[in-house]
Amino acid sequence: MSQTELSVKVIEDKPGLLTVEFSNLRREVLNGIRRTILAEVPTLAIDEVLFTENSSPIYGEYIAHRLGMVPIKTPDDPEILSQISIDIQGGNPPNMRVEYQLRAECPPQLGQPLTVSSDMLKPLGVEEARPVYDNIQLFKLGQNQVVELQATARYGLGKQHAKFSPVSPVVYIYKPVLIFDKTKDEPCDQHVSVCPTNCLEYKHGELVFTNPWDCILCRACEKACKSGATKIMWDESVARLTIEATGSLPPKVILKTAILILLKKFKLVSEKVGA
């Protein structure tokens, strides 16, 4: 591989978590992917709530907000999702809606408050569009208190409201680089001990990384070096992108959808300028 050839390598692939290493990808492109993931990959989220009964002391707005933040399983076709994103941004949101029903009542014989969880939120007709997690606590009811409601989920984007964003954090970091000047004679035991992630070792008269990706760029070792022999830098030609999903969509689908959204936007621009 040449020094300027783009390479992509999956470092970690777990349910809900994906880390991908990019080499020779411009930071403007990488940051564009990150921002698209945060703001433009569409998901389903509850956006309307109609209460038919609420005898609890909890305001309906509070319950509606809690319901809106519950991650909903979303169909995971990147091609369809990318087109939905383009349509929403163009002012033509899809008509797809998913209806939900929730009824909870705390009987007096229970003897304690009833915890209402996301497993009580039942989709009507589209069983696949259920809450990602069944154990999200929504609110509690006292004896003889009742909450009955109907909710509607629709597609939206993170730039419209955070509840539509498919990720919690999505970050990228550059590869840390340790520069050590052996000509400056100074004991380095202290440098090793101040590292909060224990990613340094003194070997054959030189301070080196045990694993450069464990470095958090805090520069504690550099600050502890009085002679200036230790410098912490980073290599912008190598970066790792980490995606932690909320569960609405798999991380690989999120990444592919974001890339397709960008490609479709570039194609629209190209068509507009007549290229």
266: three-class secondary structure by DSSP: helix
HSE (side-chain half, CA atoms, 13 Å) at 151: 31
| 225 assigned to a ligand binding site | no
Helix ranges (DSSP H) in the chain: 27-39, 60-68, 78-89, 189-194, 220-224, 251-272
What torsion do the CA atoms of 255, 256, 259, 260 make, to the nearest 10 degrees? Answer: -150
CB 211 within 8 A of CB 220: no
HSE (side-chain half, CA atoms, 13 Å) at 129: 21
The span from the first CA to the last CA of the chain, in angstroms, equals: 32
| 188 assigned to a ligand binding site | no
Amino acid identity of 217?
Answer: L
Distance CA 56, CA 147 (A): 7
Which tokens belong to 93?
């949101």
Distance CA 256, CA 178 (A): 33
Nearest to 70 by CA among 41, 100, 93: 100
Phi, psi of 102 (to 5 degrees): -140, 130
Sign of CA dihedral 203, 206, 207, 209: negative
| 199 assigned to a ligand binding site | no
Q: Residues marked as binding? A: 215, 218, 221
Q: Residues marked as binding for [3Fe-4S] cluster? A: 215, 218, 221
